[in-house]
Amino acid sequence: MAQTKHAMLVNADHDEAARQHFAVGLKSHLSAHVASGTKSAYEARVKPAYRRAKGRVPTTRHEVRRALAHDPYYQAASALKRTAQEIMWDAVGAPVEREWEDLKARAQTCSAQLGSLRLDPALKIPRYHAAVDIHCMPGGYHSEIGADDLYAGALYDRGIYLFSMGLRGDLNDDFGHSLVAWVRSRYPSLSPKRILDLGCSVGHGTLPWADAFPDAEVHAFDVGAPMLRYAHARAGALGKSVHFSQQNAEATDFPDGHFDLIVSQIIIHETSRRALPRILRECHRLLKPGGLMVHMDGIDWRGLDPYDAFVPDWDTYFNNEPFIGPMHDLDLPQLAADVGFSRDKIIFATATSARREHENRDRSELTSGDFGNVGAFMVFGGIKD
C-alpha cells in the first residue's frame, strides 16, 4: 500500500510512519475481524431478546441500533473503532505540524504553476461544518490557526488515504475516476466547455475531470480555505490546471447558465437537510440548458436488510457524520424535481468503482467497512431542460 508521492504530500519520518501504519493496521483488523462479531452478537442474543420483548424482530436500522446499544460486544467494537479513528488523525497530524513552514514554502512554488485560487475571508462557514469536526478530523475543513494555513488540506490528503486503507487509489481519486467512467459510458458524446466540481476539498475528485476533458475549463470550490490552498498547490505539483475558489455551494458567485457539467463526489452527505435543496437549486441555476448535474455519494441503502443498513449508520452517530443517515431517508429525485429538473431527466443510479477491486462483493459486504470504502456508489442528478 503506497500513496503516490507529490511535492505537497507531507513526509512522515520513521516513527511517524510507524504510528500511521499501526493506525491503519488497527482499522483493517477491526474492519475485517471485529466488525463481523457484532453481527454474531446481534443474531445470537440481541435479536432473540428483542423478539421475546416485542413479539417481532427489528424492522428498521434505528431499531437495530437501539437494540444493540447496550450490548457489550457492540460497545467494545464501537469504542475501538472510534479510538482507531482518533489515533489515525493524531498520527497524521504530527508530521504536518513538523513540516508546517516547509509545507508553506512548497505550496508557494507549486501554486505558482497552473490554474488559479480565489479566497473569500468573509465567507460564512455553514453550521453543518462549524458545529462538528466531520469524521473526527481535528478542526474540520475550515479552521485556520495561522497565516496561509494548509493544515486541513495536508491532514486530509494523507488522512483520507489511511482512513480508506488505500482503497480509494494511490491519489485518493477513485470517486472521481468512477464518476468520470460512469458519465462517459452514459453520455459518450459529452464534450463540456466548463466543468464545476462542488466541495472539492483538496481536489482528489477534481483532477480526473481535468484529465478526462483536457480542453475544458475546470472550476472547483469548497468552503475551507486551507483545503483550497492545498488543492491549488497539489494540482500544480501534479501538473493540472484548475480554478479553485472559496464558496458555499448554496449560493455561489458564478453567472446563470455558466456550466455544461456540474459534479460532486461525496459532499452531499456532509451537508444538511436545509442546505441540500438550496445546493440543488443553485446547480440548476448554474447549468446551461441541456447541461448535466451528477452527484456521487455512498451506496444507496434503500432495500437493504435492517442490519446491513444499520452498519454504515455507525458514522452518523459515532464518527461526526450527522447527515449520512438522514440523507438516506430523503427522496432525492423529488428534491431534484422540486428545484426544476423534469421528472424524465432525473438520474438515480448505481456506479461501480473504477478500480474494480470490489466488483465481486455482494451488496451487504459493501456496507461492512467504513463509510466511503465501498465499491458501489449512488449517482444522483439531472439534465436541465
Ligand X SMILES: C[S@@+](CC[C@H](N)C(=O)[O-])C[C@H]1O[C@@H](n2cnc3c(N)ncnc32)[C@H](O)[C@@H]1O
Q: Which residues bind ligand X (CB under 6 A)?
A: 126, 141, 175-176, 199-201, 204-205, 221-224, 227, 248-250, 265-267, 270-271, 275
Q: What are 245's strand-pairing partners?
A: 118, 221
5 alpha carbon, distance to own chain's centre: 21
- Cβ distance to ligand X smaller for residue 276 or 383: 276
Q: How far is the CB of 86 from ligand X (least distance, A)?
A: 18
Q: How far is the CB of 114 from ligand X (least distance, A)?
A: 19
Report the nearest approach of ligand X to the CB of residue 178 (Å). Answer: 10
CA distances from 183 to 190, 262, 370 (A): 8, 11, 26
> Could you tell me the strand order of the sheet in which 217-222 lies?
116-118, 243-246, 217-222, 194-198, 259-265, 287-297, 376-383, 346-352
- Minimum CB separation from ligand X for residue 274, in Å? 11
In angstroms, the Cα distances linking 344 to 17, 131, 336, 341 are 51, 38, 11, 8
38 versus 316: smaller Cβ distance to ligand X: 316
Q: Name the minimum Å distance from CB 60 to ligand X.
A: 26
Q: Give CA–CA dist 201/205, Å, rounded.
A: 9
User: What is the rounded end-to-end Cα distance, in angstroms, of the chain?
Assistant: 45
Whole-angstrom distance, CA of residue 74 vs CA of residue 45: 12
Report the 3 state secondary structure along 273-286: CCHHHHHHHHHHHH
Q: Name which of 16 and 149 has its Cβ closer to ligand X.
A: 149
Cβ proximity to ligand X: between 91 and 267 the closer is 267
Q: Which residue number, 161 or 310, has a Cβ lying nearer to ligand X?
A: 161
Min dist. Cβ of residue 205 to ligand X (A): 3
Q: What is the closest distance, in whole angstroms, from the C-beta atom of residue 356 to ligand X in the complex?
A: 18
Nearer to ligand X, 67 or 207 (CB): 207
Q: Give the nearest distance from C-beta 201 to ligand X in angstroms.
A: 3
The CA-based dihedral angle spanning residues 75, 77, 82, 85, taken in that order and rounded to the nearest 10 degrees: 180
**Residue 74 or 156 having the CB closest to ligand X:** 156
The 3-state DSSP composition of the chain as helix, strand, coil percent (nearest 5) reads 50, 15, 40
Nearest to 133 by CA among 24, 270, 229: 270
Copy the grid coordinates of residue 188.
459518450
- The residue with cell 459518450 is 188
**167 or 267: CB nearest ligand X:** 267
- Note whether 284 and 293 are within 8 A (CB): yes
